[in-house]
Chain A
Amino acid sequence: MKNIQYLFVGIIFGLALTKGEAISWYRIQEMFRFESFHMFGIFMTAIPTGALGLFLIRNWNLKTMEGTAIDVPVKKYHHGVIIGSLIFGFGWALTGACPGPLYAQIGSGSLVTIITLLSAIAGTWTYGRFQSYLPD
């Protein structure tokens, strides 16, 4: 039952990504070339909306629907945050997609993106395989 709720929130998220054209390769090129405000406007309104929601949850001490506590684990810094993020940035410029948009692109009818997704899964596996050899 819970999973249906996550599915539903995913639909909202995917619909917004798609209708907002955040899954469009053209929009990503435009963003990296600083030739339109569109994508920056999305980030600059999405983040404060999320932050406000989180602030209200903490301020009113809200619980989950099951009554359990809500806590956001702290993200730890390691050098991979810089190295990995730069590599992801290269991939974002090439594919025009982050992991979320990969799923949405497939749904929107670009079936060849299944190959891009499989390659992303292979990339994640390769990271897991060589993790211990890479600088942390």
Chain B
Amino acid sequence: MNILYSPWPWYITGPVIGITVPLLLLIGNKQLGISSTLRQICDACLPGTLPLFNYDWKKDSWNLFFAGGVLIGGLIGGVLLANPEQVAISQNTAAYLDSAGVHDRSGLLPAGLFSWSSLATTKGFLMMIVGGFFVGFGTRYAGGCTSGHGIMGLSALQWPSLVATTCFFLGGIIFSHLVLPFILAL
């Protein structure tokens, strides 16, 4: 297979992600972070009286350009240079997903679960609408996401970011073991 289309191993992916931390600082003293764009969109679309959104979002508009770049990066990596093979997950995960009924595993996320038609089903509603709501609510409450706390905060050796990242994983581990199997069985 052409090397351009192959997925990147972790030891290439990780350093490329990490290098964006000093790059953003060197360009204009910006701290890597994505969840703040959700707040900016709230402020730009619904300028109101809520204290959280009562700030000059245009001052932080660099972040929206960065997010636009992430979307273009997804287009390049997921369409132009798309890996024609299935994601090479471990045998154990594949067996679990089979037992949970997730058989169609083409693409980066299961089309059977994440599609327009499944939005109206209980399962699709929980996974996309409720899941998305948790992501937006939780990251703002926590003051950052996997980039802002997990990569940026930990790179800067900030202990609240270690607490946050530990709890991201704790929440994800608890949920995927104790709750997700029931949702997938719906």
| A residues adjacent to B (C-beta < 8 A) | 2-33, 35-54, 56-57, 62, 64-66, 68-78, 80-100, 102-110, 112-113, 115-129, 131, 134
B63 to chain A, nearest CB (A): 8
Tell whether, in the assembled complex, residue A38 and residue B10 are in contact, meaning their CB atoms are under 8 Å apart. yes
22 A-B pairs with CB atoms under 8 Å apart are A6-B30, A6-B63, A12-B19, A14-B73, A15-B77, A31-B172, A32-B177, A33-B93, A70-B29, A75-B153, A80-B142, A81-B167, A82-B164, A84-B141, A87-B138, A89-B171, A89-B172, A91-B130, A92-B171, A93-B172, A119-B136, A131-B50
How far, in whole Å, are A98 and B73 apart by their CA atoms in the complex? Answer: 16
Tell whether, in the assembled complex, residue A110 and residue B92 are in contact, meaning their CB atoms are under 8 Å apart. no
Tell whether, in the assembled complex, residue B71 and residue A107 are in contact, meaning their CB atoms are under 8 Å apart. yes
Count residues on chain B whose CB falls below 8 Å from chain A CBs.
129
Tell whether, in the assembled complex, residue B13 and residue A22 are in contact, meaning their CB atoms are under 8 Å apart. yes
B149 to chain A, nearest CB (A): 7
Given A22-B13, A119-B128, are A89 and B18 neighbors across the interface (CB < 8 Å)?
A: no
On chain A, the residues within 8 Å of B92 by CB distance are 33, 35
Within 8 A of A (CB), among B1-60: 7-32, 34-35, 37-39, 41-42, 46, 50-53
On chain A, the residues within 8 Å of B171 by CB distance are 85-90, 92-93
Tell whether, in the assembled complex, residue A10 and residue B160 are in contact, meaning their CB atoms are under 8 Å apart. no
Tell whether, in the assembled complex, residue B38 and residue A49 are in contact, meaning their CB atoms are under 8 Å apart. no
B158-178 Cβ-contact flags toward A at 8 Å (1 or 0): 111101111111111111110
On chain B, the residues within 8 Å of A44 by CB distance are 14
Beta-carbon nearest neighbor of A126 in chain B: B137
B141 to chain A, nearest CB (A): 3
Q: Most B CB atoms within 10 A — which of A78, A85, A109, A121?
A: A85
Tell whether, in the assembled complex, residue B14 and residue A91 are in contact, meaning their CB atoms are under 8 Å apart. no
